[in-house]
Structure 1
Amino acid sequence: MTVQGVRWTADQVLALAPDTASRRAGSRLGAAGPWSGAGSSGEGALWGLCKGSGSKPYRTVVDLADVSGPAYKCSCPSRKFPCKHALGLLLLWAGEEGAVPRAEVPEWAGQWIEGRRGRTERKKATVSPSGPSGPSSGPADPEAARRRAERRAERITAGASELEQRLADLLRGGLAAAEQSGYGLWEETAARMVDAQAQGLAARVRELGAVPGTGPGWPSRLLEECALLHLLDQGWLRRERLPEGLAATVRSRIGLPASADGPPVRDRWLVLAQYDTADARLTTRRIWLYGTQSRRTSLLLSYGAAGRAPEPALPVGLALDAELSAYPGAGQARAALGEQFAPPAPTAERPPGTTTTLATAGYGDALRDDPWLDSVPVTLDRVIPVPDGDSWQLADADEDAALPLTPAARSRPGLWRLVALSGGAPVKVFGECGHRGFTPLAAWPEGPGEAVPLC
């Protein structure tokens, strides 16, 4: 970043874009042509005037000094954050040296920057580690909160018991009947789980209903999903007998909310991957971080309304000096971002890697703590992407072993970026390793070079 004397790369800038259209439009504005009066303060502030369709240029300001990530202000009517003009200004700054020269902050940009930084400082001064109200903060009526939790648990228990009966009816009638009954029966069952306030069960029921008729071997896949759903049901119904860590995992998988109650761990966290998934109602952002001192890999989850990019935005290749607190549950990687001590900055540091054999063994070990785990985060050392018939795999350069890529990974443009980066030579790859295979999310060349996002 500017405050450290290091600029971002174009890939890191484009990773901030809320969608593909903004990425393309911002790329077109990343040249000097439409800009006038562009400047930087040397303290994390960028500004510029971008020519638009009207008579007046758009005033665009970006604040890179905020520890929670970049902030943006633009006079254009766009409701996207960042808008294409903010992306274009960042690309201009990240490009040729001197394209955004040091200059005095103009009044229109300075007012917003000072006001925003002042509000941030006041907020930090009024929020204690225990919360906005200090150590005494908590539910206004703890007894009422306890009764609500008990009522919800009773509804979930009733829903889990009903689901057990539905699964028994399915197996008693034979799996072939699942294809004939159609998706409506499963959607009705999922709706019942929503009524029972068991969102996690509802999501798994919907996944179950999508399996029948999906190609060769679907009865086996359906039986596997039924078994996992039955295991989760039984885990909830017998939660008092489980070790606390596994019981917390069951509550999380069922859909009960939890707070990050682990002790804060301050570290220098490398940003390994950031990607969004979306449905009609919600956009979910996943950010994988690696602590260089704790050697812990943690997951940040954030959510935004459909069409809105969640926050924070932490592109691959940055490092963050911050505290993270873990969520409860055995084998859970999720953490909450706490106090941040410096703005995120580019780094050439890389996480340590492992072999494909040890990666699969690690996934197997993780299933003991969380049997419903689809994948685990893994960094592979010295692997080569090679075709395998109609699919691809990552072959270990130092032993006779390989990991197949997941179907989702084979359909992403990131696969070809990985192949081009490798060129037949070993590379370091970070991704998610599970029962469906390996999904690459970022990669580094064998020699010196920046992280390349693959998602």
Structure 2
Amino acid sequence: MTQQGVRWSADQVLALAPDASSRKAGSKLGTAGPWSGAGSRAEGTVWGLCKGSGSKPYQTVVDLADAAGPAYKCSCPSRKFPCKHALGLLLLWASGDDAVPAVAEPPDWAEEWLAGRRERAEGKRPEGGGGPASASADPEAARRRAERRAERVTAGATELEQRLADLLRGGLASAEQAAYGLWEETAARMVDAQAPGLASRVRELGAIPASGPGWPARLLEECALLHLLDQGWLRREGLPDSLAATVRSRLGLPASADGPPVRDRWLVLAQYDTADPKLTTRRIWLHGTESGETRLLLSYGAAGRAPELSLPVGLALDADLSVFPGSGQPRAALGEQHAPPLPAETRPPGVTTAEAAARYGEALREDPWLDSVPVTLEAVVPQPGEQPDSWQLADATADSALPLTPSARSRPGLWRLVALSGGAPVRVFGECGHRGFTPLTAWPRAAGTPISLT
């Protein structure tokens, strides 16, 4: 990406778009017609002037070398990041050297913004390990706050245990009669107890009675897992440290990525967003080519706004990652980036469908509340399942298959996967859990960039 002559693909650029309308508008600006004065530098900056409806062209500049993902500046009034002009400029740049030539120095308006970013980045770097924030930290005050929160969580878990006991004593049919209001009120109590993880799982209980045939068994299963989480907290003193950390994580208690930094060349396997009325969560899966570890980066944005961290599928990062505490915890924090991202030239190794299911089973021993694990399937063929409207990934080398999750069957990515396969085996990365397999990325049989299925 930032070495001379190495550029992103159009798919990687379009993966940055905050929504479908921006993707469509940016694609229209990905030609030379509306642009003038476009240029780039080898370390990863691109700029240009885009003709708009006014007398002055829009000044657009993109910094591709930022450790937290691309950064954008445009003089247009759009509040989307990136805007259609930034997307169009990157698409033009991705089309080849002739479209956006290498230039020694950017124009003053672009250099001013880039210089400001460098100065701010320098100002954020710690010097000597001790700054005003560390000097003013009060360990005793932090300990007292943690104790007060633990008391609230304990009170909330104890109350939730009583409510689960009342449900089972009265029979599961009472959950269908009480509808969603009972669970919403219980979830609000868990929020008051500062246990957002409990609140989230309680809200999920409210939707199960309306989820179709077989809901009593699913409700009982979720109640059992919730009871297990409650008991894990109430008896945390007797748990191994790693399992106690997993319980705290599942309850939603804050934790820091205090594991030793691991430097590796991390392949960006998948990136997708989930949203609720208050928050957009971006999940980015990375795979270390040397360590063999698969890690998860999380980034958040306020409702209606895309998270800042953006790493399109198909890139590779030479960077440090620090892991959060917990048994088998895949979540990590992005640390120092030793070089700008570049298009990946390798693919992650894969396993069979049977090995993928076994891997999820092994992970449950460390984290019983785990919904899924990241897995790359070596050679599978998408095909209709035995049940109506169902699909599965059949192993090309063994007599086994993984069903696709209901959410995967409703995504347009399923048809991209079917078209990519054409009846032949493909390599697929996704999440494997008790509901089935959710494909997120696939690789063509021949050499080529990965295809995002989200």
TM-score normalised over the length of structure 2: 0.96
- Given the alignment, which residue of 276, 279, 282 partners 2:276? 279
Deviation at 1:64, TM superposition (A): 1.6
Deviation at 1:148, TM superposition (A): 1.3
Deviation at 1:95, TM superposition (A): 1.7
Q: Can you list the C-alpha shifts for 1:238-264, whole angstroms capped at 9, x where unaligned?
A: 111111110000011011100111111
| One-letter code aligned to 1:44 | G
Equivalent residue, structure 2, for 1:397: 396
Q: Distance in 1 between matches of 2:136 and 2:115?
A: 35
Count, aligned residues: 451
Equivalent residue, structure 1, for 2:414: 415
Q: What SS class does the counterpart of residue 210 from structure 1 fall into?
A: helix
**What RMSD, in angstroms, separates the aligned Cα atoms of the two structures?**
1.5
Q: Can you list the C-alpha shifts for 1:150-192, whole angstroms capped at 9, x where unaligned?
A: 1111111111111111001111111111111111111110000
Is contact 1:212-1:218 (8 Å) kept?
Answer: yes
Deviation at 1:141, TM superposition (A): 2.1
Unaligned runs of at least 5 residues, structure 2: none
- Given the alignment, which residue of 139, 142, 164 partners 2:161? 164
Equivalent residue, structure 1, for 2:47: 47
Is contact 1:68-1:343 (8 Å) kept?
Answer: no
Deviation at 1:26, TM superposition (A): 1.1
Q: Distance in 1 between matches of 2:220 and 2:135?
A: 44
Q: Distance in 1 between matches of 2:127 and 2:394?
A: 50
Unaligned runs of at least 5 residues, structure 1: none
**Change in 2 beyond 3 A, CA 1:41/1:144:** closer
- The reply on whether 1:261 has 2:258 as its aligned counterpart is yes
Is contact 1:3-1:65 (8 Å) kept?
Answer: no
Deviation at 1:35, TM superposition (A): 1.4
Equivalent residue, structure 1, for 2:327: 330
Deviation at 1:36, TM superposition (A): 1.8
Deviation at 1:274, TM superposition (A): 0.7
Is contact 2:271-2:311 (8 Å) kept?
Answer: yes
Equivalent residue, structure 1, for 2:87: 87
Runs of 4+ in 1 over 4 A off after TM superposition: 130-134
- The reply on whether 1:120 has 2:117 as its aligned counterpart is no
Q: Distance in 1 between matches of 2:260 and 2:2?
A: 32
Is contact 1:46-1:62 (8 Å) kept?
Answer: yes
Is contact 2:5-2:97 (8 Å) kept?
Answer: no
| One-letter code aligned to 1:152 | R
Q: Distance in 2 between matches of 1:192 and 1:241?
A: 26
Equivalent residue, structure 1, for 2:138: 141
Q: Distance in 1 between matches of 2:312 and 2:37?
A: 27
Is contact 1:356-1:403 (8 Å) kept?
Answer: yes
Is contact 2:2-2:341 (8 Å) kept?
Answer: no
Is contact 2:2-2:340 (8 Å) kept?
Answer: no
| One-letter code aligned to 1:18 | P
Is contact 2:376-2:427 (8 Å) kept?
Answer: yes
- The reply on whether 1:363 has 2:348 as its aligned counterpart is no
TM-score normalised over the length of structure 1: 0.96
Equivalent residue, structure 2, for 1:201: 198
- The reply on whether 1:192 has 2:192 as its aligned counterpart is no
Percent identity of equivalent pairs: 78
Q: Distance in 1 between matches of 2:266 and 2:43?
A: 22
Deviation at 1:424, TM superposition (A): 0.8
Equivalent residue, structure 1, for 2:374: 377
| One-letter code aligned to 2:453 | L
1:180-329 matched pairs, under 5 angstroms? 180-329=177-326
| One-letter code aligned to 2:426 | V
| One-letter code aligned to 1:286 | R
Q: Distance in 1 between matches of 2:215 and 2:127?
A: 52
Deviation at 1:97, TM superposition (A): 4.2
Q: Distance in 1 between matches of 2:303 and 2:384?
A: 36
Q: Can you list the C-alpha shifts for 1:197-236, whole angstroms capped at 9, x where unaligned?
A: 1100000000001111221111111111101101001111
Deviation at 1:21, TM superposition (A): 1.9
Deviation at 1:298, TM superposition (A): 0.5
